[in-house]
Amino acid sequence: MSQAATLCFVYVLGCSDRHGVRTYVGWTNDIGKRLSRHNSGRGARSTRGRAWKLLYVEYFSNRRGAMQREYFLKRERGFRKKLSAGISLMTPIA
């Protein structure tokens, strides 16, 4: 198996809608495919029906490291708030 096939990514998505700015944290081994799934309505239930933008990515050499970081970032609201500070509430993210 190649090195690229074993990489796992932790990502933070952001969007704005009539309810305000939202963020979502997840992990995957194919960041492009996962973002497409979120934006097509086939991602996690809480991401459906919104236009998501990739705000932040980290990569790990194994799934365990990625899952541990995801767990941490889901609870790190201050970090997510700083990432989403640049998202406008008036214009949808394309």
Label residue 29 by pLDDT band (50, 70, 90): very high
Q: Domain for residue 93, yes or no?
A: no
Q: Which amino acid is at 7?
A: L
Residue 89 domain-assigned? Answer: no
Q: What is the pLDDT of residue 81?
A: 87
> Is 52 inside any structural domain?
yes
Count of structural domains, the chain: 1
Does residue 91 lie within any of the structural domains?
Answer: no
CATH, residue 30: 3.40.1440
Answer yes or no: is 15 within a domain.
Answer: yes
* Whether residue 72 has pLDDT greater than 90: yes
Q: Would you say residue 1 has pLDDT above 50?
A: no
pLDDT digits (tens, 9 = 90+) for 33-69: 999 999 888 877 778 888 889 999 999 999 999 999 9
Q: What is the span of the domain harbouring residue 15?
A: 6-84
Mean predicted lDDT score pLDDT of the chain: 84
Q: What's 85's DSSP letter?
A: T
Asked if the structure places residue 25 within a domain, the reply is yes
